[in-house]
Amino acid sequence: MAGQRFEVEIGPVAHGGFCVARYEGRAVFVRHALPGERVVVEVTEGAEGDRFLRGDAVEILLASPDRVEAPCRFAGPGKCGGCDWQHATPQAQRRMKAAVVAEQLRRLAKIDREVVVEELPGTPDGLGWRTRVQFAIDDEGRVGLRKHRSHEIVPVDHCVIASPDVEQAGVESRAWPGMAGVEVIAATGSSDRTVVVTPRAGHRVPLVELDVPVSVLRGDGKGGTQRIHGRGHVREVALGQTWKVSGSGFWQVHPAAADALAAAVLDAVKPRPGETAMDLYCGVGLFAAPLAAAVGADGEVVAVEADAAALADASANLAGFEQVVLVEERVDRALDQAPEGFEAEVVVLDPPRSGAGRAVVDRIAALKPRAIAYVACDPAALARDTAYFAERGYTLADLRAFDLFPMTHHVECVATLVRDDR
């Protein structure tokens, strides 16, 4: 059935960067369309008898007023899969993301809540924001990005959502024979730029000569890096301080994201002097630092991170706070190992895309925090875990959503959960 074409009316937006239509009784998940449009869909995945199909809108018969021409020539059916919504205005993108978050809360947590996705400063057109870009390299050594739900690489010579500092490196204008990938990292607030080159088996990292000075690291394809030239880390600036982030370590890719999220977290839990706080999945310490400043020398912040490299960076970044205790462990195990009777007034968690899960939620609730800030990059995981927290007596008191990833379907949320009996 792949390749078949038919006309459909486009229904509501759904989680994952597509809209839902119906054809002969089956759901069709359509990319490159907008709610209310009439389009011709070409099936990209699915066969006779399948419960649903996937497809691309290849012809627009009746356009939405929110439709615009994509700013990137590599966006569209059969092209780069990195962006989902380049054919929609930034305002429409945020409305669709808000609708997705609200729908997930209704469906998975049985919560009806109006959601507004907030625009971050500095990117009104949704372009030029991404400070870390992982390019794939095809068999001919050309730089590219992958198609949607595919390993196939689309060669590109420019990425419109990449920050100017990433593009100035000139990675796309060069050939990279024998390489599997090239990541470009451009720090926010400093001049640091790093290129992580991952060779294919049997190949070495070549001499890297780019348009601007860069540090060069060798990637192992699993997230690990080895310094070849320059620094093994970049210096990110946020919250009025400089942060060490080594290798391909995690840092928010929108220049305004770190400050926005940290402010939202502090506003959510309102830590008080002398309190005990926990920062779970703490990474390099972005939330632990303002928590430590708020609880003061008489308080304590227990920061938990399983990744040894990230925790080493956190140790350097949090060196000025004696009230911070760093724990290198998986979050579930660290909570199991907490001393008998240990409680925390405040808990902040920023889990991976899959969310925290029931076991971690149960362990957090057992600490009896008065307030929890849950930072989530996946609204479905957030809604599921919010339902788990409700089972343990915690109510969703507030929710803020941020457009950290314009042109894509991704959205970041900060949920405030409080005990029902407080």
State whether the Cα torsion 361-363-369-372 is positive or negative.
negative
What are the DSSP E strand ranges found in 48-147? Answer: 52-62, 117-118, 132-137, 143-146
Q: Locate 130 and state its tokens.
A: 């991404």
The rounded distance, in Å, linking the Cα atoms of 218 and 248 is 10
User: Does 305 show up as a binding residue in the annotation?
Assistant: yes
Q: Render 228-281 in DSSP notation, one character per residue.
A: EES-SEEEEEETTEEEEEETT----SSTTHHHHHHHHHHHHH---TT-EEEEET
The rounded distance, in Å, linking the Cα atoms of 252 and 92 is 23
**Does an H or E element contain 402, and which?**
strand 394-402
Q: Locate 10 and state its tokens.
A: 């486009």
- Residue corresponding to tokens 């007023």: 65
CB contact at 8 A, 146 and 154: yes
From residue 128, alpha-carbon distances to 75, 122, 163, 415 in Å are 15, 9, 4, 28
User: Does 350 show up as a binding residue in the annotation?
Assistant: yes
User: Does 388 show up as a binding residue in the annotation?
Assistant: no
- Residue corresponding to tokens 């929108």: 254
> Nearest to residue 98, comparing CAs of 402, 406, 404?
402
> Nearest to residue 360, comparing CAs of 341, 329, 320, 388?
388
Query: Is residue 377 annotated as part of the catalytic site, yes or no?
Result: yes
Selected catalytic residue, list 159, 282, 377, 413: 377
**Does an H or E element contain 291, and which?**
helix 288-295
Half-sphere exposure of 42 (CA within 13 A, CB side): 11
Strands 241-246 and 233-238: antiparallel
Greatest CA span in the chain, whole angstroms?
67
Instruction: Tally the residues of the chain.
Output: 422
Strands 132-137 and 143-146: antiparallel
User: Does 45 show up as a binding residue in the annotation?
Assistant: no
DSSP state of 218: E
Strands 117-118 and 193-199: unpaired
Q: Which residues are catalytic?
A: 377
Residues annotated within the binding site for S-adenosyl-L-methionine are 252, 281, 305, 350
Residues annotated within the binding site are 252, 281, 305, 350
